[in-house]
Amino acid sequence: MREIEPSEAEWAVAIDFLTRTGQKCDAKRQEFILMSDVLGVSMLVNAINHRRQSGATPSTVEGPFHVPNAPPMDNGANMAADAPGITCFVSGTVRGLAGEPVSGATLDLWQTDGEDCMRISAMSMGLGCAALYRTQPDGSYLIRTVAPIAYTIPMDGTVGDLMNRTNISHMRPAHIHFAINAPGYHGLVTHLFQSGDKFIQDDAVYGVKEALIVDFEKMPSGSKAPSGEIMNEPFYVVRYDFVLERKAQAAAA
Ligand SMILES: [Fe+2]
C-alpha cells in the first residue's frame, strides 16, 4: 500500500475483486488456488518447500483438481474405463536416489480424458480419469489410460477477468498428474507433460519443468503393448522412471 498508494476508489475495486474471488469458491471450485497458480505463487511455494537433491524427480503444482479417494487399480489395469481418447500406456519404475527399487509405492493419478475438457470439473466430483496404482516388488508400474489433452483453466471467474486483461495464455499443456508416496521417502506431487504440445512453453500456471516433459510414442495398430497384448488400434507408449528422495530419519536408520 505504501508503495503503490492506491486511491480509495482503486482500493475499493481491489476489495471487490477479492470478495468476488471468495464468492466464486465452493466445495468444487477453488478460485483462490487458481489465482495463486496463475500468479506463479503456487510454483514458488512449491519450490521453497520441496528442495530435493539433484537426481530426484522434480515436483510441480498440485492444482485444484486432485480426486480424493481415487479407486485402486491392479498393475496394468485400465483407469480410463469408457472415457474417450487414444489409449496410452505409462510404465517405468519408482526408485530411490541410490537406484533401489521402491516396492509398494502408491501412484495417485488424475487427468483429463482425450476429448472433453470439462471432465476436469467432473473430476473433482470423482467422475473423470483418476486411479491409484502400486509399484511391484521390483519398483515397476504399468498404467493403462487415455492420452490427456491441453485444456483451458476455468475462465468464468475473477481469474478469467484478470487473464483477459493480459496476453498471457490461459491454456495448460496436456499432462497427467501424479502424487507418489512410499514409507521412508519424501512424497512427490508432479506431472508428466506431453512433449510437442503447442502450449508447453506457455503453461498458464508455470508448472512445466524440462525433466517432466516426456515423449508420447505413437504406436501403429497391430503393435504389441507394454501389457503384452496386441492392440487393434493406434496407441501411445510413455516410459518414465520416478526417483524419490529418502527422508533424513530413514537414511540414518
Ligand atoms: Fe491438470
Distance 1 CA to ligand 1 centre (A): 34
Residue 116: the pLDDT is 62
d(CA 2, ligand 1 centre) in Å: 37
What is the model's pLDDT at position 74? 97
Distance from the CA of 131 to the center of ligand 1, in angstroms? 14
**CA 175–ligand 1 middle distance (angstroms):** 6
Residue 56 Cα to ligand 1 midpoint, Å, equals 22
Looking at per-residue pLDDT, the higher value among 159 and 113 belongs to: 159
% of the chain exceeding 70 in pLDDT = 93
Q: How far, in Å, is the centroid of ligand 1 from the Cα of 7?
A: 38
The pTM of this model reads 0.90
Question: If you measure from the C-alpha of residue 11 to the centroid of ligand 1, how many angstroms do you get, rounded to a whole number?
Answer: 33
Domain covering 8-252 assigned CATH 2.60.130.10 in the classification: yes
Q: How far is the CA of 98 from the centre of ligand 1 (A)?
A: 30
By DSSP bridging, strand 87-96 and strand 242-244 are: parallel
CA–centroid distance, residue 52 to ligand 1 (Å): 22
What separation in Å is there between the alpha carbon of 196 and the centre of ligand 1?
Answer: 17
Distance from C-alpha of 176 to C-alpha of 145, rounded to nearest angstrom: 10
Any idea where the domains of the chain sit in the sequence? 8-252
- Please give the distance, rounded to the nearest whole angstrom, from the Cα atom of residue 177 to the centre of ligand 1: 6
- Cα of 207 to ligand 1 centre, how many Å? 10
Ligand 1 centre and the CA of 199: distance in Å?
13
Give tens-digit pLDDT for 13-35. 999 999 999 999 998 888 999 99
Ligand 1 centroid to Cα of residue 13, in Å, is 31
pLDDT, tens only, 74-126: 999 999 887 889 999 999 999 999 999 999 999 999 998 887 654 554 554 44
* Each residue's pLDDT tens digit, 130-152: 899 999 999 999 999 999 999 99
Q: What's the CA-to-centroid distance between 76 and ligand 1, angstroms?
A: 22
Q: Where residue 168 falls among pLDDT bands split at 50, 70, 90? A: very high
The per-residue pLDDT for 97 is 96
Closest CA to 128 of 142, 117, 140, 112: 112
Q: How far is the CA of 159 from the centre of ligand 1 (A)?
A: 16
